[in-house]
Homo-oligomer: A and B are copies of this chain.
Amino acid sequence: MKKIDSKSITGFPEFLPAEQIVFERVLNIIRKGYERYGFSPIETPSVERVGALTAKGGNEKEIYSLGRLAAKDGEDSSTGLALHFDLTIPLARYVVTHKNELTFPFRRYQIQRVWRGERPQSGRFREFYQCDIDVIGRGSLSLLTDAEMPSIIYKIFRDMEIGKFEIRINNRKVLAGFLKQFGLSDEQARGALGTIDDLEKIGVDKVSANLISKNGLNVDQVDSLVGFFEETKGQGTDEMLSTLKAKSYGEMFSQGVEELSSVVNNIRAFGVPDDYFKIDISLARGLEYYTGTVYETFLVDSQLSVCSGGRYDNLTEFFTEDKFPGVGISIGVTRLVNQLLKSGVLSARESTVAPVIVTTFEKSFMGEYLEIASEIRRAGINTETYMEEAKLGTQLKYASKKGFRIAIIAGGNEFDSGEVQIKDLGTGDAYTVKKNEVTSKIREILSDDLSLS
């Protein structure tokens, strides 16, 4: 029989068990962090109507549509549905769908897969998890919320213990206001913001050239913009705010500076130390959604972008006349864990979530083995019972390959004297204990383990 290809599919990552265990630990830190601040879980379907996903435009190329595999020739195979490429548009739709059942401000977190059919470059995936929090107001939403977001991100990345990170913050009105004085159209300004977003990636010379060739700025305007960046470069947070406040680049610019200043002050009140965040006035981000505050968080060592977001006041406008302004942030956790595993910041060790295995080398005592396993489980300790016919050596090899911490070993002799052997697979030490002392001895070994790690 011809065999079907079982190779992994490019761009669709899957972890080995030991890696998945690390991934879930990271997810748990994120989930607990979000819940700690009173965000409640929701999930939305993986699909939305095509019209909802394409309303903002510009993403068609990366959208996967859903078809019916069994549609016959000439039959319409389309469903009108497509896989979502982020969790923000689904949230906007969800809020409008359920607006009469939700309590506002609506604070939710959402941890789900998203799909982007782009060409997979190194480190880019076509399917990955996003972990989002957003707050959606009805009619209005306090600027305090813009400051709360970075404080939650700060707490979570500290808890992950993955090294130094930096939360960069800006307000889109600052740059948009600056560009407005040149008399650019809205579309030109949006295009220019997108170009500027590449500043760090491709450098000031290329960005300048692109602003002229692609976005229709003239040389004087580009000089003025570059001068503005140069002037503030290297300035500390308060110094930069002073510089910005002294400029008169029109009303939108001033409003952006005022919002940015208020958000920065509140970020401090929310407990984020100064060396974990900075203003980056070249940060433009997310052409489509954002209307005010924007964030992007980088790991300092690798310069990996791990988290981004911002405020969007008009995202529900495609569904309703009602106003639902929102602010949110998203952690790209698949890419994050993948990179940290690769670079060795996180390491995948054991491929079992159970510390204990009960070996079963005399199957005639299976009832006794199962009883011991049950007792350990009743104490809240994850425990596997070895099921196959195999010599003790094979069973112990299996145990150490998977990374069990403790093996329970017993046969006729032990059971006759009401004892079992507890083997610490980390140290190699073995203890013979009475059957009713098994659980307490295991606890003792595991607590040693914790204190050493």
Contact = CB atoms under 8 A, between A and B. Distances in A.
Interface of A: 1, 3-9, 12-17, 20-21, 24, 35-52, 54-55, 60-61, 63-70, 77-79, 81-83, 93-94, 96-98, 101-103, 105, 107-108, 113, 115, 117, 127, 135, 137, 140-142, 144-145, 148, 266, 269-271, 317-321, 351-354, 357, 366-367, 370, 374, 377, 382-385, 387-389, 398, 401-402
A401 B101 CA distance: 11
A158 to B, nearest CB: 13
A246 B321 CA distance: 75
Contacts of A319: 3-4, 6
List the 7 closest pairs (A to B, CB-CB), nearest first: A38-B384, A12-B45, A38-B354, A63-B69, A6-B96, A60-B70, A65-B69
Taken together, the copies of this chain in the complex come to: 2
A68 B65 contact: yes
Contacts of A321: 3
B36 A383 contact: yes
A352 B40 contact: yes
Given A60-B69, A387-B142, A367 B38 contact: no
Nearest to A135: B387
Nearest to A63: B69
A269 B16 CA distance: 33
B103 A38 contact: no
A42 B64 contact: no
A115 B79 CA distance: 13
A335 B63 CA distance: 29
B66 A64 contact: yes
A411 to B, nearest CB: 17
A55 B64 CA distance: 23
A4 B52 contact: yes
A262 to B, nearest CB: 12
Contacts of A39: 353
A6 B48 CA distance: 9
B5 A21 contact: no
